[in-house]
Amino acid sequence: MAKGTGSETIIAHGVRLEGDLVAEGDLIIEGEVHGNVKTQGDLRIGEQALVEADIEAGNALVSGTIHGNILVRGKLELLPSSSLTGDVTTEVFVVGPGACVNGMIRMGAEAVVVPKGKKRTESVEE
C-alpha cells in the first residue's frame, strides 16, 4: 500500500482516471489511467496497474501494464511482471527477466532531448 508524503500523487488500485494527468511531484499509479501522463518527478507503476497513455517522466519503475509511448529522461526500469506495448525513449534502460517489450527503443542522452517548441505528449496543464 502506498503512503503519501504530501507532495506525491497516488492513483489507487480501484480508481479509474480518464484524461490528462499532470503531476508536479512524484507519481504512483496503482489503478487505471487512460489518456496522457506527465511528471517531472519519478513515476512508479504498480503490478496491478493498467496505463493506456503516452507517458513522460523523470525516472520510471514499472511493474504493471502500459499501452502507449513512454519518454523517460533518466532511468526506465521494467520489472519482471511488467508489459509495455509502445515506443520507448530513455537515457538508461533496465529490463528485468520476463518483462515484455513490444515497440521501438531509442536510448542514450541524445534520444531524450526534446526539440524546442515540440511536445512528445500533448497534455493540459493545471
126 sits near other proteins (criterion: CB under 8 A): yes
User: Per-residue b/e over 78-96, b at no fewer than 16 CB within 10 Å?
Assistant: bbebbbbebbbbbbebebe
Binding range to other proteins, per CB under 8 A, among 20-28, 70-78, 85-93, 108-116: 20-28
Residue 91 as a binder of other proteins (CB under 8 A): the answer is no
CA distance 48 to 21: 19
Q: Which is nearer to other proteins, 18 or 108 (CB)?
A: 18
- 119 near other proteins, judged by CB under 8 A: no
Residues near other proteins, by CB under 8 A: 1-22, 24-25, 30-32, 35, 124, 126
